[in-house]
Amino acid sequence: MERTTRLVNFDAFHQGQDMDLPRTINPPIFRGSTVLFDNFAELSLANSGKYQGITYGTDRMPTQRAFEEAVRELEGGALTRAFQSGISAIINTFLAFTKSGDHILVCDNAYAPTVHYCTQILTKFNIETTFIPPAAGEEIQSYLKDNTKLIFLESPGSNTFELQDIPAITTLAKKRGIITVLDNTWATPLYLDPFALGINISIQSATKYLTGHSDILMGTVTTDHPHAATLQEYYRITETYTAEEDCYTALRGLRTLALRLRQHEQSALAIAQWLESLPQIGNVIHPALPSHPQHQIWQRDFSGSSGLFAFTFKEEYPAEKLAAFIDSLQLFGIGYSWGGFRSLITAAKYNRTQTSRYAGKMVIRLNIGLEDPGDIIKDLTAGFEAMT
C-alpha cells in the first residue's frame, strides 16, 4: 500500500526542477500529457488563456518549440509549425487557408498524395482544384477565377522535375490577393528562398533532407508575417502537435543539413553528368544540367541543387530488363521517399492532366545518398551490364 501511494505521488517534473539539471548541448526530450501548475492562480490564468508557460502536452513541448524556431530561422519566415509528416503539413495548409466555395490552383507535377487530397477530399468541402502546367508561369492568369484563393506550387515537381516560374506567379497572385504556397522540399531553404521570391507559405517534408536519415516522418509549414496568425490559431485550435522524440531527431538532423546537402549536390551532379554521356540514356532530368528545359529558371532562382533527379532510357525496355537493372544494384535500396544518406531508386510512368514530354515513358528516379560517388557509378555500370 505504502509503495503504491509513493508511486502515485511521484512528481518527476518538480523533482527535475529542484535538481541542478546538466546543461546538455541538445535540448532534453519532455514526455508528457499533463503539465503541472504551481498553484490555483496559474491554473486560473491557463483557464482564461493568459498563462505564459506551456499548459498541456499538445501546447508544443520545448523540443518541438526549439525545432520549429530553428526551421523558422532557416526559412526566414515569421512562424513555423511542425506536423507529423510532409503530407500532413500540406493537407493542414489547405485546411487552414481555404474554405468552402474556394477555388485553388495546383501544379500538375505536385506530389501524388497532394493531388489526390485535392481531387478526393477537398471536393467534399466544395473546394475546387484546377491543375496548372508543371512548368507554369505568367500564363496561369488564364486559370484564375474570381474565387481563386490559393496557388500551390512544387518546384521542381515530383519525379519529372519541371520548374515553375515562381516570381511570375507570385507577382500575379499578389495583385489579386491570392495566397501562394510552395512545397520546397527538394531545394530546402538553403538552396531556394521562397519568401524572397514572393511566396507566402513554405512547406518542407522534414522527412527528407532536414532530418536526413530516413528514420522519422515530419513536415513543417512556415508563413510570412501576414499569414502567421491564421496558422498559429489553426494549430492551437486543432491541438496538433508532433512527438518530442521526432522533434529531437529532426533538430539533430538540421545541424548537419548544409554539409550533407553539399555532398548530395556534388555526387548527384557528377552521376547525372556521367549518365548524360551514356548512349542508352534518353533524358537526364536534373534542373542544374544545361539540358534541363527550365535550366535558366534554376540558374535565376536557386543557389544549389540536391540529390534527387531522374532519367529515361532511349528505348522503352520490357519489365524483365528493367528488373534485371534495378534488382542487380547493390548500393541502391528500392523504396519510396528520399533525402537520406542511403541511395534509393524508384521507376514509374507518370500520368498528368496536362501534356508532358515524359508521357508514356518509364522515369527512373535516383536519390543519390552519401556513398562514394565513384562506387555509385560502378554500381550503376554493373546494373546496365545486367540488362544486356
Ligand X SMILES: Cc1ncc(COP(=O)(O)O)c(C=O)c1O
- Contact set with ligand X (CB under 6 A): 85-87, 111, 154, 158, 183, 185, 205, 207, 217, 219, 337
Closer Cβ to ligand X, 63 or 220, answer by number: 220
Task: Quote the least distance from Cβ 184 to ligand X, whole Å.
Answer: 9
Among candidate residues 336, 156, 364, 345, the one with its CA nearest the CA of residue 280? 364
Residues 6+ apart with CB under 8 A from 139: 133
Task: Quote the least distance from Cβ 209 to ligand X, whole Å.
Answer: 11
Task: Quote the least distance from Cβ 279 to ligand X, whole Å.
Answer: 31
Q: How far is CA 166 from the centre of its chain?
A: 17
Contact of 283 with 311, CB cutoff 8 Å: yes
Closer Cβ to ligand X, 87 or 173, answer by number: 87
Closer Cβ to ligand X, 46 or 115, answer by number: 115
Q: Write out the chain in H/E/C secondary structure.
A: CHHHHHHHHCCHHHHHHHCCCCCCCCCCCCCCCECCCCCHHHHHHHHCCCCCCCCECCCCCHHHHHHHHHHHHHHCCCEEEEECCHHHHHHHHHHHHCCCCCEEEEECCCCHHHHHHHHHCHHHHCCEEEEECCCCCHHHHHHCCCCEEEEEEECCCCCCCCCCCHHHHHHHHHHCCCEEEEECCCCHHHHCCCCCCCCCEEEEECCCCCCCCCCCCCEEEEECHHHHHHHHHHHHHHCCCCCHHHHHHHHHHHHCHHHHHHHHHHHHHHHHHHHHCCCCEEEEECCCCCCCCCHHHHHHHCCCCCCEEEEEECCCCCHHHHHHHHHHCCCCEECCCCCCCCCEEEEECCCCCCCCCCCCCCEEEEECCCCCHHHHHHHHHHHHHHHC
Task: Quote the least distance from Cβ 111 to ligand X, whole Å.
Answer: 4
Task: Quote the least distance from Cβ 65 to ligand X, whole Å.
Answer: 20
Task: Quote the least distance from Cβ 311 to ligand X, whole Å.
Answer: 18
Say how many C-beta atoms besides its own lie within 10 A of residue 242's C-beta: 26
Task: Quote the least distance from Cβ 365 to ligand X, whole Å.
Answer: 10
Task: Quote the least distance from Cβ 221 to ligand X, whole Å.
Answer: 12
Closer Cβ to ligand X, 63 or 185, answer by number: 185
Closer Cβ to ligand X, 45 or 95, answer by number: 95
**Nearest residue to ligand X on Cβ basis:** 86
Closer Cβ to ligand X, 223 or 306, answer by number: 306
Closer Cβ to ligand X, 67 or 111, answer by number: 111
Closer Cβ to ligand X, 223 or 367, answer by number: 367
Closer Cβ to ligand X, 46 or 132, answer by number: 132
Task: Quote the least distance from Cβ 226 to ligand X, whole Å.
Answer: 24
